[in-house]
C-alpha cells in the first residue's frame, strides 16, 4: 500500500466508515474476543450498534496472539474495505515480564537498560498481537500525593527527557523495518503531572513560561525521537480541558512542533468535556475535540454519533475529518497491517519469548539497578546469618506495581523466595496486613524475630494505593506497619526496612527506627531475586532518587530545582522570621533528588574547570576525580548541575545538565569530564524564546543534588 493507494482508499470510504476509524473500543465489544479484555476506566452505555462496531478503527486492551488474530479475522470478514484494526494497550513497564515501575527505572539513571526494558516489553507485546503501546508516560511530577508519579521517571526535566527518548527507541526502533516493535504513544498531553493538591484528574493551572520551561520538554523529546502517537490528558490546562484545547494541540503540538502522527484522547476524555462544563452535549464535545486536533476518541462515542451531523450542518469540514482518518490509515500502513493484519502475532513465539530467561535476567538486572539504598548503619550487606523476614510484603506477589495487568502473580519472585536462595533457613511472618493487623499476627512476627541475628521488615503500600486514581493525602506508611517496625526494633537487633511503594513517602519514622532502609519501589517479576542480590551484596546498590522524598506532606511539592525567592532562608543576611520558611519543618526534602548510597564509599577531588569564561564556540570542560575509597567495587552516578546567576526570568538554584554513571573497582580512581556548551545554558525567556544570556553561571558536581562542589564561569557573547 503506497500513499496514493491510501488516499484512494480514503476516497472510497463513506462518512460512517470514516468516523468509525476515529472510534476506539475496548476488547469486550468485539466478536471473537473473550470478555476479559483489560478495562482501565469507567464503562458506560455508548449508544452504539453492531454496525458502528464493524466500522471501529482500533481496539483497546486486547492481548494474546490467538485472541487478537481471532478478533482481526472476524472483523475483516465483515469490513467492507478490508481496513484492519489497530490493537493498542498499556505496555508501560513490561508486558508479562514486568520491569520495575518507571519511577524506579528513573532511579537507575541507566538509559541502556531502560531502552532494553522497552524493547523487551515491545517484543513480548508484539508477538502477542499488540501494535501500539500507550507509553512512555512522561508527565513531570513534583507532588507525591498524586498516585501516578510511579508512571513517570520523576521530577527532573533533563532526566525525564533523556528517559523519554530511551523508551521510545526501545518500543519503536525502526517501526517499519525492525522486527517485534510497537508504535509508541507519549502521554498525557499536557501537564497532567501537576494536578492541584495531587488529586488525580484535578485542575492544572500554570503559566506558559512554566509549561515550556519544565513540563513540555519531555513530550517534545519523545516526539524528536520519532514517537508515533500522543495521548491527551484528563486535566484542564489554564481553564480549558486538554482534550478540547486547540491552542495546546492544534497550534502548539501540530503547528509549532510539526507533529503529524495520531493524537488519541484519553479514556472517555472527549465526553468528559461535558462534566468539565465546556460542552453542553456530546455533539459540542465532538466538535471541540476534532477542531482541537484529537484523531481517535477512546471509549466514548461523541465522534461516531455526531460527526456526520456536524459536517452536514457545516460546523466542521469533511477535510478536517479526512485529515484525522488519513493519519490513522497512515499508521496502519506504517505498521504494515494492510499487507499483514496480524503483524507479529505468533503463538509459537509467544511461548518462546515471553518470560524467557533472557527477559527475566534483564528484569532482574534493571530491578537491582533501580533499588535505592537510603540508609545503612553498617547492617548491610547481610551475611549468611540467622535472618528473619517479617512484614506484609515478605511473601507478597503484589510487587509488580500498577500497569502490570498482563503480569501474573505466579510468575513473580517474592522477597522471601529471593532471600531463601541465600539463606535456606529464613524465618518468615507477615506481622500484619497493609492497613490492619492483630495482636496474634504481631506476636508471631516478634517470636520469629527473636530467633534471628538480623531482621528484615518488608513494608509499603498496596499497589492500588498508587497509580491512576490512587492519590493519597497522607503519604505515610500505614500506621499498623510502622507499629510493627517499632516493635521489632525494641528487640534491640539490627533492623533493615525494605519499602515497596509507588511514590516518595514520608518515611521519617522508618528512617528513625530502622538501621538500614532499602527503597525497592515495585520491582517487578524478578523483584525478589533483585532485592536479595542487593541485600546480600551480590549487587552493590547504585541507584539514586529521581524524585525528592519530602520531610512531610505539608512541604509538598518539594523539588530540588526550585527558585530562590526574594527572601531565601540561607542568605548571609537572612532574618530570623521574615524569610521564606516553614516554622515547623525544614525547607529541604528529607532525601534530595539524586541521593542514594552504595556499599562502596566515594571521594571527590577538587572540581577543575578548563577556563573562567566560555563562548558559543568554545565549550568548557569540567573535570573531577572520583575515587572508590572502599574495598568493594561499585558504581557512582556523578551529577552535573548549573545555575544561571542572573536571568531575564528567575532561574532554578540548580538544574541537572548531565551525569555519568561510572564503575570503580575497589580503590580505583577515575577522572570524569563533562562538557558544558552554550546550548545547555539556554532557557525560556519572557517572550518564550529559548536562548542563553551572557553572564555569570555556577556549575556544581557531586553525588547528589545537595552534596556538591561548585565553580563559577562567565558566558561571553
DSSP symbol at 715: E
Q: Which is nearer to ligand NOJ, 92 or 482 (CB)?
A: 92
159 φψ region: left (φ > 0), alpha (ψ -120 to 50), beta (else): alpha
d(CA 143, CA 154): 10
The least CB distance from residue 148 to ligand NOJ, in Å, is: 8
Residue in 701, 595, 707 with CA at minimum distance from that of residue 643: 701
The least CB distance from residue 243 to ligand NOJ, in Å, is: 11
The least CB distance from residue 638 to ligand NOJ, in Å, is: 34
Q: Which is nearer to ligand NOJ, 83 or 296 (CB)?
A: 296
Q: Which is nearer to ligand NOJ, 269 or 373 (CB)?
A: 269
C-beta neighbour count of 341 within 10 angstroms? 24
The least CB distance from residue 91 to ligand NOJ, in Å, is: 10
Length of the chain: 717
The least CB distance from residue 38 to ligand NOJ, in Å, is: 7
Helix, strand or coil for residue 103? helix
Helices (H), 98-181: 102-108, 111-127, 157-172
Phi first, then psi: what are they for 365, rounded to 5°?
-65, -50
Q: Which is nearer to ligand NOJ, 266 or 284 (CB)?
A: 266
The least CB distance from residue 468 to ligand NOJ, in Å, is: 5
682 near 692, Cβ under 8 Å? yes
Per-residue three-class SS string for 426-479: CEEECCCCCCCCCHHHHHHHHHHHHCCCEEEEEEECCHHHCCCCCCCCCCECCH
Q: Which is nearer to ligand NOJ, 266 or 526 (CB)?
A: 266
Peptide linkage before 381 cis (omega within 30 of 0): yes
The least CB distance from residue 335 to ligand NOJ, in Å, is: 18
Q: Which is nearer to ligand NOJ, 41 or 195 (CB)?
A: 41
Strand-strand pairing, 58-60 and 86-89? parallel
CA-angle at 484, arms to 481 and 488, nearest 5°: 145
Q: Which residues bind ligand NOJ (CB under 6 A)?
A: 40-41, 90, 134, 187, 266-267, 468
Longest dimension (CA), the chain: 80
d(CA 249, CA 510): 44
Q: Which is nearer to ligand NOJ, 34 or 709 (CB)?
A: 34
The least CB distance from residue 362 to ligand NOJ, in Å, is: 24
Helices (H), 451-585: 479-489, 508-513, 527-535
CA dist list (Å): 415 to 429, 464, 665:
12, 19, 29
Looking at the DSSP bridge assignments, the partners of residue 189 are 232
Residue in 444, 448, 457 with CA at minimum distance from that of residue 495: 457
Helix, strand or coil for residue 637? strand
d(CA 22, CA 290): 10
d(CA 99, CA 111): 14
Both ends of the chain: CA-CA distance in Å?
Answer: 52
Phi first, then psi: what are they for 459, rounded to 5°?
-125, 170
Q: Can you say whether the dihedral through the CA atoms of 185, 186, 192, 198 is positive or negative?
A: positive
Catalytic residues: 266
Q: Which is nearer to ligand NOJ, 231 or 480 (CB)?
A: 231
The least CB distance from residue 187 to ligand NOJ, in Å, is: 5
DSSP symbol at 76: H
Looking at the DSSP bridge assignments, the partners of residue 231 are 264
Per-residue three-class SS string for 178-244: CCCCCEEEEEEECCCCCCHHHCCCCCECCCHHHHHHHHCHHHHHHHHCCCCEEEECCCEECCEEHHH
The least CB distance from residue 267 to ligand NOJ, in Å, is: 4
CA-angle at 353, arms to 112 and 114, nearest 5°: 15
Q: Which is nearer to ligand NOJ, 189 or 267 (CB)?
A: 267
Q: Which is nearer to ligand NOJ, 125 or 374 (CB)?
A: 125
Amino acid at each position: 500500500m503506497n500513499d496514493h493507494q491510501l488516499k484512494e482508499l480514503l476516497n472510497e470510504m463513506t462518512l460512517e466508515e470514516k468516523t468509525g476509524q476515529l472510534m476506539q473500543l475496548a476488547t469486550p465489544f468485539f466478536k471473537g474476543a473473550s470478555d476479559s479484555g483489560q478495562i482501565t476506566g469507567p464503562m458506560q452505555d455508548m449508544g452504539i450498534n453492531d454496525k458502528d462496531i464493524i466500522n471501529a478503527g482500533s481496539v483497546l486492551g486486547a492481548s494474546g496472539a490467538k485472541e487478537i488474530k481471532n478478533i482481526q479475522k472476524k472483523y475483516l470478514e465483515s469490513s467492507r474495505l478490508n481496513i484492519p484494526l489497530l490493537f493498542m494497550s498499556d505496555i508501560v513497564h513490561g508486558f508479562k515480564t514486568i520491569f520495575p515501575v518507571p519511577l524506579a527505572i528513573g532511579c537507575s539513571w541507566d538509559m541502556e537498560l531502560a531502552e532494553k526494558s522497552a524493547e523487551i516489553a515491545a517484543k513480548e507485546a508484539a508477538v502477542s498481537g499488540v501494535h501500539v503501546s500507550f507509553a512512555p508516560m512522561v508527565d513531570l511530577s513534583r507532588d507525591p500525593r498524586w498516585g501516578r508519579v510511579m508512571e513517570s521517571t520523576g521530577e527532573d526535566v533533563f532526566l525525564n527527557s533523556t528517559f523519554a527518548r530511551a523508551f521510545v527507541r526501545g518500543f519503536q526502533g525502526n517501526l517499519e523495518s525492525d522486527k517485534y516493535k510497537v508504535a509508541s504513544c507519549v502521554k498525557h498531553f499536557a501537564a497532567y503531572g501537576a494536578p492541584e493538591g495531587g488529586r488525580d484528574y484535578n485542575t492544572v493551572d500554570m503559566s506558559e513560561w512554566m509549561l515550556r520551561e519544565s513540563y513540555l520538554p519531555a513530550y517534545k523529546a519523545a516526539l524528536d525521537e520519532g514517537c508515533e502517537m500522543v495521548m491527551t490528558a484528563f486535566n484542564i490546562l489554564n481553564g480549558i480541558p486538554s482534550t478540547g484545547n486547540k491552542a495546546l494541540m492544534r497550534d502548539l503540538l501540530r503547528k509549532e512542533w510539526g507533529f503529524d502522527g495520531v493524537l488519541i484522547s484519553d479514556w472517555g476524555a472527549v465526553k468528559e468535556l461535558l462534566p468539565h462544563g465546556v460542552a453542553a452535549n456530546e455533539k459540542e464535545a465532538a466538535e471541540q475535540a476534532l477542531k482541537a486536533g484529537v484523531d481517535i476518541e477512546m471509549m466514548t462515542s461523541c465522534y461516531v454519533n455526531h460527526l456526520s451531523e456536524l459536517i452536514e450542518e457545516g460546523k466542521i469540514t469533511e477535510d478536517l475529518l479526512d485529515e484525522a482518518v488519513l493519519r490513522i490509515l497512515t499508521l496502519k500502513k506504517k505498521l504494515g497491517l494492510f499487507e499483514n493484519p496480524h503483524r507479529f502475532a505468533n503463538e509459537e513465539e509467544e511461548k518462546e519469548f515471553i518470560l524467557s530467561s533472557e527477559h527475566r535476567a534483564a528484569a532482574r538486572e534493571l530491578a537491582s539497578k533501580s533499588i535505592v539504598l537510603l540508609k545503612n548503619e553498617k547492617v548491610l550487606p547481610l551475611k549468611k546469618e540467622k535472618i528473619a523476614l517479617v512484614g506484609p510484603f515478605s511473601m507478597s506477589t503484589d510487587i509488580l506495581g500498577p500497569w502490570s495487568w498482563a503480569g501474573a502473580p505466579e510468575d513473580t519472585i517474592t522477597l522471601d523466595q529471593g532471600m531463601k536462595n541465600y539463606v535456606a533457613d529464613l524465618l518468615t511472618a507477615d506481622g500484619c496486613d497493609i492497613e490492619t493487623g492483630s495482636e496474634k499476627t504481631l506476636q508471631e512476627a516478634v517470636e520469629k524475630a527473636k530467633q534471628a541475628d538480623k531482621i528484615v521488615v518488608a513494608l509499603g503500600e498496596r499497589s492500588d494505593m498508587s497509580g491512576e486514581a490512587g492519590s493519597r493525602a497522607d503519604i505515610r506508611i500505614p500506621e499498623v506497619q510502622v507499629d510493627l517496625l517499632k516493635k521489632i526494633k525494641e528487640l534491640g537487633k539490627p533492623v533493615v526496612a525494605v519499602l515497596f511503594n509507588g511514590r516518595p513517602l514520608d518515611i521519617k519514622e522508618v528512617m528513625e527506627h530502622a538501621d538500614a532502609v532499602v527503597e525497592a519501589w515495585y520491582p517487578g517479576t524478578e523483584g525478589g531475586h533483585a532485592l536479595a542480590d542487593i541485600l546480600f551484596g551480590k549487587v552493590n546498590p547504585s541507584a539514586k532518587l529521581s524524585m525528592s522524598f519530602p520531610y512531610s506532606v505539608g512541604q509538598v511539592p518539594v523539588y530540588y530545582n526550585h527558585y530562590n525567592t526574594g527572601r531565601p532562608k540561607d542568605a548571609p543576611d537572612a532574618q530570623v522570621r521574615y524569610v521564606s520558611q516553614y516554622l515547623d519543618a525544614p525547607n529541604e526534602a528529607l532525601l534530595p533528588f539524586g541521593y542514594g548510597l552504595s556499599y562502596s564509599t566515594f571521594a571527590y577531588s577538587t572540581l577543575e574547570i578548563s577556563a573562567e569564561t566560555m563562548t558559543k564556540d568554545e565549550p568548557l570542560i569540567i573535570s573531577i576525580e572520583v575515587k572508590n575509597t572502599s574495598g568493594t567495587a561499585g558504581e557512582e552516578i556523578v551529577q552535573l548541575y548549573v545555575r544561571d546567576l542572573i536571568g531575564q526570568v528567575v532561574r532554578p538554584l540548580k538544574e541537572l545538565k548531565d551525569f555519568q554513571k561510572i564503575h570503580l573497582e575497589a580503590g580505583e580512581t577515575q577522572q570524569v569530564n563533562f562538557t558544558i556548551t552554550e546550548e545547555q545554558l539556554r532557557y525560556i525567556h519572557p517572550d518564550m524564546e529559548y536562548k542563553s544570556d551572557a553572564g555569570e553561571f555556577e556549575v556544581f558536581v557531586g553525588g547528589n543534588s545537595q552534596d556538591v562542589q561548585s565553580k563559577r564561569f562567565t558566558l561571553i557573547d
